[in-house]
Chain A
């Protein structure tokens, strides 16, 4: 089986700004992304992913994963998101080096 190197950018942030983050991802040229409900502890506060009612649903956290083919695109996304949002909103972003089966998908 032939695997191909690719980059995965991970952004963990507030659900409230997902719309803007997704726009940045698409503008950078990524073909897709995955959004997963997230929770845990960070610089700001502990947030559970619990099924308990959240009075303000928009304040829950999400993990956004984007797989891209080249590192430049990955860095653009990380930079843009950080500059646009992370002064005011809580969030982190990191990159993972992965292998994919079908590079044409990304």
Chain B
């Protein structure tokens, strides 16, 4: 009972934080038909800024980090990414009105990771002064890439089995390259490398760090506007997508929380790290995953998987999952 009250209080507070407030604000003004425009160039720059800051900070910390402590969470990330895709495609393909290609693409997108959700969770943890290992965001590609590859490979295998299509080899290395070259991951990896190899501490403190929270609010405003726009597309496809997109993030996050707890016992993964790991698992890709899937699984309907992810999955993982896992961690780890 106490847990429930704590969670609800947290949820109410969460609605007042700039993070969620801007997301809902974006949805609201889009619903009201506002002409407010955030230019595309600005949006892309913000994605760069956020991931560069996350990367730099992570890279600086990895210098002193114990690599064996990172190994277990990294393996768990891959495991979660794979399990989400297998579970999701298994469930979705059995629901009425969803074909196999769409089920693989949707599950792949939910197995992949959202940079904006990750950034929102980091801001919240910092506000609550819950410490986490700064390398945790570096788990992103370990979950993201296996999930996307598995979804595309499964979809192609399925298509081969049931069709007269001529043999098309799946270019796994091509998918890996595409993912790594995507705008979000490139910035994150470059940041990690710069943090690790150069001495960017002063620019981090004077430039990237102070702008981080403010820019995140603009990003979330854009995400909110996009979520509303995509809702129209989602309405035209099977309603099961919306239900999956609501339950999926919570379930995926809880699974990761369990694994994170195991890592906590095994290698002393911090409670903040467990929360962030659960949020990474709960999140669904909204920036870099969709084009990879569109190219890899062309038969799938983008309205279905992007609608599910952007208009339901992302708001749920930010509004419900982040406060839920923080509340859960407070009970489990007694912080």
- Contact present for B291 and A55 (CB under 8 Å): no
Question: Is A97 at the interface (CB under 8 A from chain B)?
Answer: no
Residues of B within 8 A of A94 (CB): none
Question: Is A23 at the interface (CB under 8 A from chain B)?
Answer: no
Question: Is B272 at the interface (CB under 8 A from chain A)?
Answer: no
Question: Is A45 at the interface (CB under 8 A from chain B)?
Answer: yes
CA distance A10 to B179 in the complex (A): 31
Question: Is B61 at the interface (CB under 8 A from chain A)?
Answer: no
Q: How large is the interface on B (under 10, 10 to 19, 20 to 34, 35 or more residues)?
A: 20 to 34
Q: Is the interface of B mostly helix, strand, loop or mixed?
A: helix
* CB under 8 Å from chain B, chain A span 88-105: 88-89
Question: Is B298 at the interface (CB under 8 A from chain A)?
Answer: yes
- Contact present for B40 and A16 (CB under 8 Å): no
* CB under 8 Å from chain A, chain B span 215-231: 222-223, 225-226
- Contact present for B39 and A58 (CB under 8 Å): no
Question: Is B44 at the interface (CB under 8 A from chain A)?
Answer: yes
Which of A17, A45, A51, A56 gathers most chain B CB within 10 Å? A56
* CB under 8 Å from chain B, chain A span 13-31: 16-17
Residues of A within 8 A of B302 (CB): 59
Known A-B contacts A16-B291, A59-B291; the reply to A54 vs B40 at CB < 8 A is: yes
- Choose from B42, B233, B286, B298 the contact partner of A88 (Cβ within 8 Å): B298
Known A-B contacts A88-B298, A89-B298; the reply to A56 vs B37 at CB < 8 A is: no
- Whole-angstrom distance between the Cβ of B204 and the nearest chain A Cβ: 26
Residues of B within 8 A of A88 (CB): 298-299
- Contact present for A55 and B294 (CB under 8 Å): no
- Contact present for A55 and B299 (CB under 8 Å): no
Instruction: Give the nearest-CB partner of B38 in chain A.
Output: A53
Residues of B within 8 A of A17 (CB): 295
- Contact present for A16 and B42 (CB under 8 Å): no
CA distance A99 to B306 in the complex (A): 43
Instruction: Give the nearest-CB partner of A52 in chain B.
Output: B37
CA distance A30 to B223 in the complex (A): 41
CA distance A56 to B222 in the complex (A): 11
Q: Is the interface of A mostly helix, strand, loop or mixed?
A: loop
* CB under 8 Å from chain A, chain B span 128-143: none
- Contact present for B295 and A55 (CB under 8 Å): no
CA distance A29 to B257 in the complex (A): 56
Question: Is B310 at the interface (CB under 8 A from chain A)?
Answer: yes
- Choose from B44, B294, B303, B310 the contact partner of A57 (Cβ within 8 Å): B44
- Whole-angstrom distance between the Cβ of A5 and the nearest chain B Cβ: 37
- Contact present for B40 and A58 (CB under 8 Å): no
Question: Is B287 at the interface (CB under 8 A from chain A)?
Answer: yes
- Whole-angstrom distance between the Cβ of B98 and the nearest chain A Cβ: 18
- Contact present for B37 and A51 (CB under 8 Å): yes
- Whole-angstrom distance between the Cβ of A57 and the nearest chain B Cβ: 7
CA distance A16 to B182 in the complex (A): 13
CA distance A15 to B48 in the complex (A): 21
Instruction: Give the nearest-CB partner of B303 in chain A.
Output: A45
- Whole-angstrom distance between the Cβ of A56 and the nearest chain B Cβ: 5
Instruction: Give the nearest-CB partner of A89 in chain B.
Output: B298
CA distance A52 to B299 in the complex (A): 28
Q: Mark B110-142, 1 if CB is under 8 A from A, else 0.
A: 000000000000000000000000000000000
Residues of B within 8 A of A (CB): 37-40, 42-44, 222-223, 225-226, 233, 286-287, 290-291, 294-295, 298-299, 302-303, 306, 310
Residues of A within 8 A of B (CB): 16-17, 45, 50-59, 88-89
Q: A55-B287, A59-B291 are in contact. List 6 more A-B contacts (CB 8 A).
A: A16-B295, A51-B37, A52-B40, A55-B222, A58-B290, A59-B294
A-B contact pairs, 25 of them (CB 8 A): A16-B291, A16-B294, A17-B295, A45-B233, A45-B303, A51-B39, A51-B40, A53-B37, A53-B38, A53-B43, A53-B222, A54-B43, A55-B43, A55-B222, A55-B226, A55-B310, A56-B286, A56-B290, A58-B291, A59-B290, A59-B291, A59-B294, A88-B298, A88-B299, A89-B298
